[in-house]
Structure 1
Amino acid sequence: MPAKKTTTSAKTSPAKKTAPKKAPAKKSSAKSTSKSSPKVAQEAQTKKTSTAPKVDTPKAKVAPVAVAAPKGDYFYANGKRKSAVARVRLYPKGKGNIIVNNKALEQYFTVLSDQDKIHSPLRLTDNLTAFDITVIVKGGGIPAQADAIRHGIAKALVTYKAELRPALKHAMFLRRDSRVKERKKFGLKRARRAPQWSKR
């Protein structure tokens, strides 16, 4: 018997039409006007009114007053430390005034340790107020200049009275300190500091 043809009618469902979604309308952002406080309004008014620029008046610098050097006979000596050289003059029958480069000691050396260093030979020999001292110092820094002045005062005290030599020598005030900074060597970063060594 011939095979029966079976026909299957598949019902196709019609395609659903999707309507495009409408984008939500953008809400216009209304500018919020915030009421300004009365303090802010006053500050704004003061800024508008004060249009003139402020002029800073420079402060007048006080020039150091030159001190008159004493006159008369004196005892002279040179003092040295590093590259500083001090020429010291001791005037006997003085009041203890010390003038450094035409300035008072307190004006030139503002650090108390430097002032004490300069006074140390006079304090050791009980001559703090026995002399007026004038100094002309050049070269070096402030600490080196103080050491040079101390060295010069100690040497001048010995020329004034040789009996003061043992006490000043024992305090190491008469010795010229020859220590200076060591020079840099080639191949090194400093006098002895070598560059970092790497094994690999």
Structure 2
Amino acid sequence: MATKIESIFQKDKIGIGRRKQAVARVFLTPGTGQLVINKVAGEKYLQYNTSYLNDVWAPLRVLNLETQYDVTVLVRGGGLTGQADSIKLGLSNLLCKIDENNRSILKPYGLLTRDARIKERKKYGLRKARKAPQYSKR
């Protein structure tokens, strides 16, 4: 059963972004430039952090579309940094779906690059992924 938010938007007009453990599904509707993340105002969700907000708005600022679209996001997993970066990538991908010419504008800014770095798994015999117990000669 689809949620109410997902039923409003078409499935082909969705941008998906991933970063660390965070996955964001981004939807655009013509509007006045409002940001809603998980049914909460975007500024409140990102704790009024200007760095996160600038990351999220970067693709629209580059294309001068800040006040033409309302952005609705469903995001899960990870922390705020990963979520903000996943929203940025999802929004960039969606803008490229809408107009193919946006790709050549966004690419030089690195907005279409997926950051593949994720946490390395812990190995047995070690304290963390690579931290080993102290070596004792005697």
Instruction: Tell me the TM-score normalised to structure 1 length.
Output: 0.61
1:52-93 Cα distance to aligned partner (Å, 9 max, x none): xxxxxxxxxxxxxxxx9xx6779321111122111111113x
**2:46 paired residue number:** 109
Q: Considering only CA atoms, is the larger Rg found in Structure 1 or Structure 2?
A: 1
Q: Tell me which of 16, 20, 24 is aligned to 1:86.
A: 24
Paired letter, 2:61: R
Q: Tell me which of 100, 103, 106 is aligned to 2:37.
A: 100
**1:146 paired residue number:** 84
Q: Is the 8 A contact 1:154 1:173 kept in 2?
A: yes
Q: Tell me which of 110, 129, 133 is aligned to 2:71.
A: 133
Q: Is the 8 A contact 1:81 1:176 kept in 2?
A: yes
Q: Which runs of 5+ in 1 are unaligned?
A: 1-67
Kindly tell me: are residues 87 and 72 of structure 1, through their superposed partners in 2, closer, same or farther at Cα, counting changes over 3 Å? closer
Could you say what secondary structure the match of 2:26 adopts? strand
Q: Tell me the distance in 2 between the aligned counterparts of 1:101 and 1:136.
A: 5
Paired letter, 2:115: D
**1:187 paired residue number:** 125
Q: Tell me the distance in 1 between the aligned counterparts of 2:105 and 2:123.
A: 41
Q: Is the 8 A contact 2:35 2:72 kept in 1?
A: yes
* Residues 40-59 of structure 1 mapped to structure 2, 5 A cutoff: none
**2:103 paired residue number:** 165
Q: Is the 8 A contact 2:35 2:71 kept in 1?
A: yes
1:176 aligns with 2:114: yes
Q: Is the 8 A contact 1:75 1:91 kept in 2?
A: no
Q: Tell me the distance in 2 between the aligned counterparts of 1:135 and 1:166.
A: 24
Instruction: Tell me the TM-score normalised to structure 2 length.
Output: 0.86
Q: Tell me the distance in 2 between the aligned counterparts of 1:72 and 1:190.
A: 43
Structure with the higher strand share, 1 or 2: 2
Q: Tell me the distance in 2 between the aligned counterparts of 1:141 and 1:157.
A: 24
Q: How many residues align?
A: 130
Q: Tell me the distance in 1 between the aligned counterparts of 2:136 and 2:15.
A: 54
* Residues 15-54 of structure 1 mapped to structure 2, 5 A cutoff: none
Q: Tell me the distance in 2 between the aligned counterparts of 1:91 and 1:160.
A: 11
Structure ranking higher on relative contact order (CA contacts 8 Å, 6+ apart): 2
1:131-179 Cα distance to aligned partner (Å, 9 max, x none): 1111111111111111111111000110111111022122221122111
Paired letter, 1:123: R
Q: Which runs of 5+ in 2 are unaligned?
A: none
Structure with the higher helix share, 1 or 2: 2
Q: Tell me the distance in 2 between the aligned counterparts of 1:79 and 1:72.
A: 17
